[in-house]
Amino acid sequence: RLKDDAVTGAKIVAGTIATTDLAYTPVQSLTFRYEFDSQGGAVGAVTLTDTSGAAQQLPAGALVTSAVIKSSGALASSGSATLALGITGTATAFKGATAFDNAAYAGSNAVTAGSTPVYVSSATNVIGTIATATLEGGILDLVVSFIIA
């Protein structure tokens, strides 16, 4: 019987092991994207998508352990636009309103966003909130790591 219950490399590769079979909950991650060309830059909240532009949410029970900002195309604005990153209901869960040209958004280096764990009890959108002025360009990814609690 123990042989049947053992977690083996072959079972993992075959995909026959569920996370409930493990003694720990593995860290998962999702990448959420803001892309001006497809989502625009109007003042207000914008729902971030996966990297191909499809809808994506944090799953129910996700306990976010980290969020990392990666910019692959600098944000642009002719005004003094700010961007906050969060979830529906808590627009600043990951990053408070920060100037579009701040180092957190301006470079291609990954920057940790927020240090307080965030828990979502139901599937939840990740959002960017544009304020003060419109954004006029840019691509930004937010890599969110979490466990299911």
Element (H, E) at 48: none
% of the chain at pLDDT higher than 70: 80
Average pLDDT of the chain to the nearest whole number = 87
The three-class DSSP label of residue 127 is strand
Q: What is the reported pTM?
A: 0.82
Q: Which tens digit of pLDDT belongs to each residue from 99-147? A: 999 988 876 666 777 667 899 999 999 999 999 999 999 999 999 999 9
Q: How far apart are CA 148 and CA 98, in angstroms?
A: 29
Closest CA to 119 of 95, 91, 147, 143: 147
Residue 98, strand partner residues: 83
Element (H, E) at 132: none
Residue 43 contacts residue 133 (beta carbons within 8 Å): yes
Query: Residue 11: is its pLDDT beyond 60?
Result: no
Give the DSSP letter string of 59-107: PTTEEEEEEEEEEEEEEE-SS--EEEEEETTEEEEEEEEEETTSHHHHS
